[in-house]
Structure 1
Amino acid sequence: MSSMPANEGVILLDPHPRRIDRIFDEPTKRRLERLGRVLWHDGSLASAEHIDRHLPQAIALIGQSPLDKARLDRAPHLRAVFNVESNFLPNLDYAECHRRGIPVLSTAPVYARPVAEMVLGMAISLARRMHEADAALRAGREFKGDNHDSFLLSGKPLALIGFGNLGRALLPLLRPFSREILVHDPWVHPSVLREMDVIPASLDGCFTRARVVFLLAANTSENTGQIGRRQFESMRQGSVVVLASRAALVNFPELLAVAASGHIRAGIDVWPEEPIPKDEPGRATPNTLLQAHRAGSVPEIQPLIGQLVVDDLENILAGLPPQRCQRAVLETVTKLRSIPVGAWSLSDTRRP
């Protein structure tokens, strides 16, 4: 990778489905423009012609444009790639970027705190049946203080399946409730978990021991559909499961079936198919609290996406490592299966 003075290089914007004005406030735009010649493309996917024309002068790509080896060969000055959709998608050659020393970065950390707050609220509502009591009251059949199957989170074993950005944001919110916090994450060494004062546990152990299980892991080639009826039925009657990361973690029909049986209560924010079909069975499943993938959708966090990008690009152009975004780790990124609706693959270099 040859060098180019930063202020002479091109910063390519291809942020769709994000909108520039939502993720870059005016001060952050001005900071970005001091780092290079910014091409502010917005509102749609950038065309292959547009990307290919400017790659030879690009020092940074902010967006999800496909980047195979052939395209990387045409980008000798590229210093960083920022995914502002906030997932690591199969749209680029991670091994080749790693070989060339080009960090691939995601702005996923900005969503951890809002999702953590939401899933805690869902767990409390499910434990106390707050959402059901509200619906009953509006229908004129209020619970009248009937809390026979409600329970407190306080003093109960709680479990996190997955300990990435979201799990680590949720942990301090759970500390006031319990000292028995179990964590299962095969990508995190048990010694790291113990140093963080949580209890390393097997997947099955989390379900048999915990009163509330938060499903927070990324979907990978190793865990798709790994959690199903056996784990859910091993929980204590009336326990809570909150699914907040990727629906593919679970056998979704089995999750709904065990909830419908009354054995567990399920909070669901992510679905096998999104937008959610009108005839999705989960819409009518009892003992559930449903959301439409909105746990992270808080307007006030959107400008943080641009701020993280510019913070890290400033560092990279100064010869320092990125510190704000999440960096793709070659050993694990190719196992991820985070492909949102309408996403493209590495081969999709011909775009509208």
Structure 2
Amino acid sequence: MRTEPDSALTVPSAEPPAARPKVMLAMNESSRVRVLVPQVRARLDRVAEILPVGPGAAPESNTFLGDAAIRDKLGEVEVLLTGWGCPAITPDVLAAAPKLRAIIHAAGSVKGFVDPAVFDRGIQVSSAVVANALPVAEFTVATIVLSGKRAFRLSAEYKLSRRKPDPSFIPGSYGSTVGLLGASRIGRMVAERLRAFDLEVLISDPYLTAAEAAEMGTELVDLDTLFTRSDILSVHAPLLPETVGMVDARLLGLLQDGSVLINTSRGRIIDAAALEKECRSGRIDAVLDVTDPEPLPPDSPLLDLPNVFLTPHLAGAVGNEVARLGELAVGEVERFAAGTPLQHSITAADYRRIA
């Protein structure tokens, strides 16, 4: 999938169109407050007519059709501005919304609530996934840089021993080999940002060509080569039926002694028992923003190992970063109102590949 430049995350406010599209906010109240911060909501109000109902206004209803006020307004809706807490958009909902022309999602993946029937209807679908991907890529690059100095393991050991570690055992980042498992949107963003560092970057993805990899400044390799050659390996594959447990004991065994495994994707992509065994042995380090299960049980050995650095699934948009999602989504509403193409469209083909 194409990676948009960072500048695509914000769009200058559009002049109010002659006929403003009718928009329903389909997200829970918490999402609405966090995503549509005052300046972003003001932009939206200038360009669209906001219908006075939405699932966030009726938290007791978990379907569009389960609330009479929502049902009555669906017939007028031209754009559903969705977010976390959006009910499923089923064929029945589509039948009740004959004027619906666009679904603009102010969050990540649309697969959990958008029925494929929307594409048969010719309804445009857009997602703010790029705005959520950006902080994940930034977080990942930061962990790669720190992992080059084995900062996470050495910090834990320093606290325990109260002694400065012998610098001869710190590998350093210069000339290290970083492997990226997956040329997802985030994987591509990471590759782009790693160009600024003196690193060799490998990538493995069944849908990527060698020429495309070279354009990204990476070398396309197979899975075994990726795991064998990488000093630091970062997981960026989507969670699909075929990727559950794909990083198994055999692949983990190919990692070099002292290498670092980073996962900011989904915990279930890595075989949990095999990962625990490798980490308990001390042979590799792990930097995990996601785990399987999530959260880990209180007795998980991963919680106490000095070679495992854990964060509570915070790499994606948090705090004031969430406003980026609203900025991107409202930019798409502005484009829709102006009759120009959406910049972050999800096609039927994209829908089949995404998690």
TM-score normalised by L of structure 1: 0.84
| Contact kept in structure 2, 1:221 and 1:336, CA below 8 Å | no
Match of residue 163 from structure 2: 143
| Contact kept in structure 1, 2:53 and 2:70, CA below 8 Å | no
| Alignment gaps of 5+ in structure 1 | 338-352
Q: Distance in 2 between matches of 1:46 and 1:190?
A: 49
Q: Distance in 2 between matches of 1:104 and 1:237?
A: 45
Q: Counterparts of 1:134-283 in structure 2 under 5 Å?
A: 134-139=155-160, 141-178=161-198, 180-283=200-303
How many angstroms does 1:53 deviate by? 2.9
**Residues 39/155 of structure 1: CA separation in 2 closer, same or farther (3 Å cut):** farther
RMSD: 2.5
Q: Distance in 2 between matches of 1:284 and 1:17?
A: 37
Q: Does 1:322 align with 2:342?
A: yes
**Residues 222/18 of structure 1: CA separation in 2 closer, same or farther (3 Å cut):** farther
SS at match of 1:58: coil
Match of residue 105 from structure 1: 126
**Residues 61/277 of structure 1: CA separation in 2 closer, same or farther (3 Å cut):** farther
| Contact kept in structure 1, 2:107 and 2:325, CA below 8 Å | no
Q: Distance in 1 between matches of 2:61 and 2:26?
A: 6
Q: Which amino acid aligns with 2:28?
A: H
| Contact kept in structure 1, 2:178 and 2:233, CA below 8 Å | yes
Question: Which of 33, 36, 47 lines up with 2:49 in the alignment?
Answer: 36
| Contact kept in structure 2, 1:15 and 1:85, CA below 8 Å | no
SS at match of 1:158: strand
Q: Does 1:292 align with 2:304?
A: no
How many angstroms does 1:266 deviate by? 0.8
Match of residue 12 from structure 1: 24
| Contact kept in structure 1, 2:35 and 2:323, CA below 8 Å | yes
**Residues 200/277 of structure 1: CA separation in 2 closer, same or farther (3 Å cut):** same
Per-residue Cα deviation, 1:111-165 (whole angstroms, up to 9, x for no partner): 22322222233234344332344344444x2232323432122212211112222
Q: Distance in 1 between matches of 2:159 and 2:200?
A: 37
TM-score normalised by L of structure 2: 0.83
Q: Does 1:62 align with 2:81?
A: yes
How many residue pairs end up in the alignment?
329
Q: Counterparts of 1:110-121 in structure 2 under 5 Å?
A: 110-121=131-142
Q: Distance in 1 between matches of 2:37 and 2:74?
A: 25
SS at match of 2:341: coil
SS at match of 1:186: coil
| Contact kept in structure 2, 1:126 and 1:266, CA below 8 Å | no
How many angstroms does 1:297 deviate by? 4.0
**Paired-residue identity, %:** 26
Per-residue Cα deviation, 1:14-64 (whole angstroms, up to 9, x for no partner): 223852222112232122123223436548475431543322111111223
**Residues 205/9 of structure 1: CA separation in 2 closer, same or farther (3 Å cut):** same
Question: Which of 113, 133, 147 lines up with 1:91 in the alignment?
Answer: 113
**Residues 45/219 of structure 1: CA separation in 2 closer, same or farther (3 Å cut):** farther
Instruction: Identify which range, 103-112 or 232-241, moves more after superposition.
Output: 103-112
Q: Which amino acid aligns with 1:171?
A: A
Per-residue Cα deviation, 1:233-258 (whole angstroms, up to 9, x for no partner): 11211011100111121112211211
Instruction: Identify which range, 34-43 or 15-24, moves more after superposition.
Output: 34-43
Match of residue 10 from structure 2: none
